Structure 1
């Protein structure tokens, strides 16, 4: 099964991160799937698990569960998928005033 990198944009959140109100984020996930469409779906589910009830960000998020959009997705080679750094975390952006 091939590896894919999926870059996602999330919006609709309302979170205070390091004393700054944020409204959205970008994140990347490396997943193993049969197809690009399956990889995008799996990457979205991995991210949403952290924002739904019981997830790491659910308690602090005063907005809704994020709406996710695929910004970019592409095949990652076997070597990068097996031995490469696994992307995680979020790059948050501020609310526009």
Structure 2
């Protein structure tokens, strides 16, 4: 994610090439993006922000239940994804992001 002219853009990491100019439903800075396929993806960022797309271009917010920055995402498929963030936060969804639940790391 990068910010140009006050708007956030998806950019290719290696070449910083703009991939699109989505109309995102949040002013919060986004720090991570993950797609399960060409249509289903999530972006996450400051203040527990999570946004989701099911068509690759239209985004909607999803309640994360946390207020810490979310710095990383992994999407397995359209239903299953994980978000990680500050203070050891780990969130998981098994229903496409309709709900996100804390997923504590297993102790060794």
Instruction: Give the structure-1-normalised TM-score.
Output: 0.24
Higher gyration radius (CA): 1
Higher helix residue share? 1
